[in-house]
Homo-oligomer: A and B are copies of this chain.
């Protein structure tokens, strides 16, 4: 047993304060002072766990990326588990549920989306964040590609569809929905988000036009 509190736990608690500040006031307000106040700590305490502002931002960004990826892979494992074969309907539901993790359907996911988009936008001009933005985007693209490729192999993809292109299109749609819903939360209701997602998934299948 370490001292009295786990330092790693402290760091994650501070990271959560970062998330709250970013979601509420924007990433430009995520200063050491504001984050320390949000976490109920003195600025010196925060600096004891993080060498500086940059390290705090990098840690928070990696923490959020890990959280998102954990959510997604949980769904992906259910989808690809060979021990329990799934019906096409079940697969559709799992895919929709997995991709819905990237949409701001409730407060928790809304915070995650807003925070992530803020970090991704900041990475455009901050080299130290760049790598992690690329990492998650690559992961998302690889995930959608695998899902679409699996659908193609079992004939549940519209014939003639280019898997790589459709993966790009699906990622862009998810990003766009997340962006708009995060920025205009009262204009894009959760059921609208889900309806658009389901429409897109349906349009990808060769299915009967019932």
Residues of chain A from 96 to 124 with CB closer than 8 A to chain B in the complex: 114, 117-118, 120-124
Q: Is the interface of A mostly helix, strand, loop or mixed?
A: helix
Contact status of A121 and B120, CB under 8 A, knowing A172-B180, A176-B171, A199-B165: no
Interface magnitude class on chain A: 35 or more
The copy count of this chain in the complex is 2
**How long is the Cα–Cα vector from A188 to B177 in the complex, in angstroms?**
19
Question: CB-CB < 8 A to A209: which residues of B?
Answer: 159-160
- Judge if A125 is at the interface, Cβ distance under 8 Å: yes
A14 to chain B, nearest CB (A): 21
Determine how close the nearest CB of chain B comes to the CB of A138; give it in whole angstroms. Answer: 9
Given contacts A123-B183, A203-B203, contact A196 B168 (CB under 8 A): yes
For the complex formed, measure the closest distance between the CB of A122 and the CB atoms of chain B, giving whole angstroms: 7
A183 to B171, CA, bound (A): 14
A124 touches B182 (CB 8 A): yes
Give the complex CA separation of A209 and B160 in angstroms. Answer: 8
Q: Of residues 178 to 192 in A, which have CB atoms within 8 Å of B's CB atoms?
A: 179-180, 182-184, 187-188, 192
